[in-house]
Structure 1
C-alpha cells in the first residue's frame, strides 16, 4: 500500500494555562514546513516537545494523523482542521492510520518508521482546541492517530510517498489497541498478540485481565 505525505509539521512553543507540563509550555501547535525534515530516533528535528515523558520517547518519536480523519473533525467542529491541527508531525494521505498494524513498517522519504501505539487524548489537547469535552468526543470517535518509532533515520517532505513495506501477521491494529484500552475491554487479550506494542501497554493489559 502506498500513500503520501500531505505535510510535515513542527511544534512551536505555546505558553498557556492548559499546557500539560509544569512549565506551562507545550509543542502541540504544529505547523507545516517546506522542504525535507530529518526524522531521528529521538524525534523530529526542529520539533518542540513540552512533555518529553509523554511525547518524546523512542516509541513516540513521530505522531501521524490522516488528512481524511482531520477532515471529519473539520465537519464535526465546523472549522478547518489543517495539517498539524491534531498535533501531528506527519499528516498522511491515502494511508489507513487507524487500520495500521502494530509493528508494521513505513518507508517515508528515506526514513523507515514502525507503528507502535495510538495516541491518548489529554487536557492539553482539549485546551488547544478550546473544546472542553474533546477527550470524551475524541475517545468515542476512536480515530486516535499513530505513534511511530524511527528504525532508520532519514528525511521526509510533503509529497513524498509513504509505502507500507512490512506488516505483521497478528493483525492487531491501532484502532483495536485504542478501543481495548478505552472502550472495549473485551479486546484486551488481543494486545498480547502484538510483540511490538510498548511493554507498558502490554503489562497494563495483563494486569487488567488478571483482575477480572
Structure 2
C-alpha cells in the first residue's frame, strides 16, 4: 500500500507534568488541528518541544504513531485514548513499523518528508499516564512510532495523507531497527546493516557506532586471550 490516512494532526506547547515528586516540562499534550499548517525543517506550525536535546530538531521534526496500536495500550492502561494520546504529531492509519523503512520518502501536502528513526520512548509517557513501565513496554512490543525529517517545506493538512514516493533501497524496517536497538543488542551484523542506511538519524547512528565499537573490542580481546 502506497498511501496512509492521517486521522489527526496534533500540535502543542510544553506544559508542566508531575513525575516522581518533581515538576517536569513536556510537549506531550497535543491538540488536534484541522486547518492547514506550515511544516518547516524543524517542526509543524504551533508545535514546540520542551527537551530539545532528545526531541525535535531536523531529524525529528514530526513524530508519527499508528492508530492500530491504540487497542493494545487501551487494554494495558484500562482506558479509552483520544487521538494524539502519545504526543505524536500525526496519528495515522494503514501502516505500522513492519511496513515502513528508515529512509522511505513521502509526499505530505506541499512538503516532502523522510523516515529518520523509530521513536525512542521516554519517561514523559510514564508521567502522563502514571504508568512507569510504558517506555519498556513500548520497546518490547515494537509499537514505538517513528520520526520524520523534512526534505521540502510546505503547507500540510490532515486530508493530504501520506503518499510513499521512494522506498529506501536498503529495506531496513522500523521493526528490525527496534529489534536490534532494544532486544538483540549484540547482533553486530544487524547493527552494520542499519548503519549502511544513509538516512539514519545522527543520534541513532552515534548509539549504534558506539555499541558496535564495544562489541568489536570485546571480540578482539577474547581472541587475544586465546593465544
DSSP-derived class of the 2:159 partner: coil
Identify, as 1 or 2, the structure richer in helix: 2
Deviations 1:130-179 (A, max 9, x none): 11211221111111101010111122222322100001111112222222
Tell me the distance in 1 between the aligned counterparts of 2:148 and 2:27: 18
- Once residues 160 and 75 of structure 1 are traced to their aligned partners in structure 2, the CA distance between those partners, rounded to angstroms, is 31
SS in 2 for 1:181: helix
In structure 1, the residue matched to 2:204 is 201
User: What TM-score, normalized to structure 1?
Assistant: 0.91
Cα 1:117–1:208 change in 2 (3 A) is: same
Higher alpha-carbon deviation: 70-79 or 25-34: 70-79
Structure 2 equivalent of residue 71 of structure 1: 71
Question: Deviations along 1:164-198, whole A, 9 cap, x unmatched?
Answer: 00011111122222221111122322212211102
TM-score (norm 2): 0.85
How big is the alpha-carbon RMSD for the aligned residues of Structure 1 and Structure 2? 1.9
Q: Tell me the SS of whatever aligns to 2:170.
A: coil
CA distance in 1, matches of 2:132, 2:23: 22
- Specify the alignment match of 1:81 in structure 2: 81
After superposition, give the CA deviation of every residue in 1:16-56 in whole Å (9 maximum; x if it has no partner).
2339xx98321111121121121110111101211112112
Structure 2 match to 1:168 = 168
Moved more, 66-75 or 85-94: 66-75
Aligned to 2:103: 103
* Contact 2:41/2:58, CA 8 A, preserved across alignment: yes
Contact 2:139 / 2:182 at 8 angstroms: preserved in 1? yes
* Number of aligned residues: 210
Deviates more, 1:175-184 or 1:89-98: 89-98
Which residue number in structure 2 is paired with residue 34 of structure 1? 34
Q: Which moved more, 1:188-197 or 1:89-98?
A: 89-98
Give the Cα–Cα distance (whole angstroms) in 1 for the partners of residues 107 and 97 of structure 2: 14
Q: How does 1:179-190 map to 2 (within 5 A)?
A: 179-185=179-185, 186=187, 187-190=190-193
CA distance in 2, matches of 1:52, 1:209: 26
How far apart, in 2, do the equivalents of 1:209 and 1:178 lie? 16
Structure 2, gaps ≥5 residues long: 216-227
